[in-house]
Structure 1
């Protein structure tokens, strides 16, 4: 293996891991923690300086998908994800019963979540690798060689029996030459959002305006020509910080985030919209006269880009019909939430009894041994991914990938050939729901 260019010891370069998890969002953390707790030598690679993915870097400060929407909120996801939810509740987070159609959610301070995830990753014996991106993935005999880039020391490589792609963008899969669905291949990708926090708000006065009334006022202001407000029905909600609201309302449409120029333009446009929405809030809505932008998320929020082509593909009809089977390694109940290029969002509820299942085979690429993908880059149609991308399902699919890797190592069978019923039993034994 190649050594880093500047100042690194050979400690990690010379080390072989049982599994390298690429991407430290909810799916990546759960995959790494599950594998680490099973005794596997595990590395978790993340290009930010902290874990959490969209929950921290993009400031999505609420966990969604843990309970069914509607009058009777039934549990959908347990295990490591629920453990993290409970830890944030212990740090001042709170449950919100209505999260714009997605069911109850848990809102937390994003900086508290960083600390929760640090403790969890280290406690599982996982090797954290921050400020590091993957730049190459290739099969070398029975192992994968993963080339990493750290800004301070240049490229270096590690080896692993298994790679779990939890990048959200199927970056590791694409670099490995595995089959992927490209952005826009199945119709326009979902829009991007620069989430921001507003301080100096009279929170009670601001939230006394209903979502429907605020959406109508936004539409009227946009159509007046006095403001440029591409999304009319975005959300504002209370945060753990007094006098502060989170705003999820920016809409940057038709962006292929795998194109650096397009992603750069989207970041700049997102910040421009933040300023415009603040101007509208201060001019037209009660409670915002003294509001200011306290924080803009470090990264624009990405809902959809590349996905793997899997042995099984989760379909829109699976969601709308509430399909469940005995290959399930996770459950989901959140509706299809498709952030289209227009001013509104498509919502479509889960059919059947309100739950559908995500099969193990949706994490397995059609080719490539010793490789799984979890989180929002699993194998799913556009509309199905618009439901399954929620944080709870990312935690659940990531956890399943970690346990699956451990089963393969211990049984000596190919990862794609593990006993799914044994995997399901392992998930249940650790508090998961399948």
Structure 2
């Protein structure tokens, strides 16, 4: 491959803070607010023009339940965020159904009110380090290239970009196939007659005698379809594929949700892609956007032709951010394994509890013969604080879906509830590191959890 030699250059330091949070997604927002709440000066660096990450910019809604009785938050900041979203009429009473646009706004309000300095439209292109300590990150923006200095850095990029630029080790993808999980491009349709669509779903259940993945209670409608042929709407997809109105991949994964505050809008968890799936490859991301838009137009025509309630429907938003389920797994002081997740392992330094199941798209895996779940009356597993401490670095944490775990464990812990908790824990830990002058790996994770609880986070005993 042809290459050029670029002359060395001097890069100006433009901003300095106690804590620099890299990435403004679910983990990043919680990390930034948690550190600011502890009195730290905080800079939050984000590549888009709004916060929320996959939950906001990739339109990933609703919030998945932890599958633990009582659904403990393991986060005090989530309560703050939900209150703001409630005022903005962007979340339902359960806290699960939410409007991604409202989440973006509420996240921004929360950060600004807490004193977090936001830097939008900044891409991180390099890291400055000395003997295992990060001194600064190099960013590129319309303003040019410059350095942001900090005492502690938190990698919430989702792909572990900062950790990798610093030289951290990582794994990526399914060890059996070498491929990452499938990716999606979400969208919303407005102008939908929800009642008519809901009654249509009821009629399909009656016509086919199949109720799987379909419901309508007179207000909230839901429907889904996957590669298996046992869903209420499978027959519709098969007809459209036979007639050339859809392609087979349109049926492999399709899901639709009602947004809580929009009476004419549906949110779709599709189209999904199974070949170009590397969220760290810009060519793959570009193809997801171009192929995704073509698929969205095809699917809109399908709804109008084969379903009811879509006569006046139109595309109201296509996610500017591709929905990435999994990419890099940064090597941390502790790597949580799938076996530990399935065995419901507990840790003294837990900062999050979760029981969300294995969720690997495009592949049906069975683990019953590999593990023996521990029946301790506590059906959940813990995420240890050590999985947030990037191995080999004194002042670098990682939070979110790219924390220290293997492929199988990550398929469960990648949900928004968990990544919020990990960001919050990393933010509190960063403040401890600054105040006490200690290295990241020297921090007692149980102390971090106790501080989370003292502020309002709930954990199961």
Q: Residues 40, 186 of structure 1: CA spacing in aligned structure 2 closer, same or farther, 3 A cutoff?
A: farther
Residue in 1 that maps onto 2:83: 86
User: Is the 1:29–1:398 Cα contact (8 Å) retained in structure 2?
Assistant: yes
Residue in 1 that maps onto 2:193: 202
Runs (4 or more) in structure 1 with deviation over 6 Å come to: 345-351
Note the C-alpha offset of 1:241: 1.3
- Residue 160 of structure 1 aligns to a residue in which SS? strand
- Residue 128 of structure 2 aligns to a residue in which SS? strand
- Residue 375 of structure 1 aligns to a residue in which SS? coil
**Aligned to 1:320, which of 337, 342, 367?**
342
User: Is the 2:14–2:146 Cα contact (8 Å) retained in structure 1?
Assistant: no
**Is residue 160 from structure 1 mapped to residue 179 from structure 2 by the alignment?**
no
Deviation string for 1:119-169 (max 9, x for gaps)? 21112211111111111012136552210111x211100211211100001
Deviation string for 1:330-367 (max 9, x for gaps)? 11122222222x7xx77999985432110011111221
Residue in 2 that maps onto 1:414: 439
- Counterpart CA distance in 1 for 2:415 and 2:188 is 21
Q: Residues 365, 215 of structure 1: CA spacing in aligned structure 2 closer, same or farther, 3 A cutoff?
A: farther
- Counterpart CA distance in 1 for 2:89 and 2:441 is 41
User: Is the 1:93–1:106 Cα contact (8 Å) retained in structure 2?
Assistant: no
- Counterpart CA distance in 2 for 1:351 and 1:89 is 39
Deviation string for 1:342-393 (max 9, x for gaps)? 7xx7799998543211001111122121111000110112121111111111
Residue in 2 that maps onto 1:7: none
- Residue 77 of structure 1 aligns to a residue in which SS? coil
Note the C-alpha offset of 1:244: 1.1
Residue in 2 that maps onto 1:309: 331
Residue in 1 that maps onto 2:268: 247
Q: Residues 285, 418 of structure 1: CA spacing in aligned structure 2 closer, same or farther, 3 A cutoff?
A: same
- Residue 357 of structure 1 aligns to a residue in which SS? strand
Deviation string for 1:272-328 (max 9, x for gaps)? 111121122111122223322121111221111112012211222222222222120
Residue in 1 that maps onto 2:136: 145
Note the C-alpha offset of 1:225: 4.6
Matches within 5 A, 1:1-400: 13=13, 15-65=15-65, 67-68=66-67, 73-95=70-92, 106-140=96-130, 143-150=134-141, 152-183=142-173, 187=177, 188-208=179-199, 209=201, 210=214, 211=223, 212-222=231-241, 225-232=244-251, 233-239=253-259, 240-254=261-275, 255-340=277-362, 353-400=378-425
Instruction: Answer with 231-240 or 382-391: which moved more.
Output: 231-240
Q: Which structure 2 segments of 5+ residues have no match?
A: 1-8, 202-213, 215-222, 224-230
User: Is the 1:49–1:131 Cα contact (8 Å) retained in structure 2?
Assistant: yes
- Counterpart CA distance in 2 for 1:39 and 1:149 is 28
Q: TM-score, normalised by structure 2?
A: 0.83
Note the C-alpha offset of 1:200: 2.0
- Counterpart CA distance in 2 for 1:177 and 1:294 is 41
- Counterpart CA distance in 2 for 1:171 and 1:28 is 13
User: Is the 1:2–1:156 Cα contact (8 Å) retained in structure 2?
Assistant: no
Deviation string for 1:78-102 (max 9, x for gaps)? 3112321232123213438xxxxxx
- Counterpart CA distance in 1 for 2:78 and 2:89 is 17
- Counterpart CA distance in 2 for 1:22 and 1:143 is 13
User: Is the 2:152–2:434 Cα contact (8 Å) retained in structure 1?
Assistant: no
- Residue 334 of structure 2 aligns to a residue in which SS? coil
User: Is the 2:329–2:406 Cα contact (8 Å) retained in structure 1?
Assistant: no
- Residue 247 of structure 2 aligns to a residue in which SS? coil
User: Is the 1:257–1:263 Cα contact (8 Å) retained in structure 2?
Assistant: yes
Note the C-alpha offset of 1:404: 0.7
Over aligned residue pairs, what C-alpha RMSD do you find? Answer: 2.5
- Residue 54 of structure 1 aligns to a residue in which SS? helix
- Residue 92 of structure 2 aligns to a residue in which SS? strand
Note the C-alpha offset of 1:114: 2.1
User: Is the 2:43–2:116 Cα contact (8 Å) retained in structure 1?
Assistant: yes
Note the C-alpha offset of 1:399: 0.3
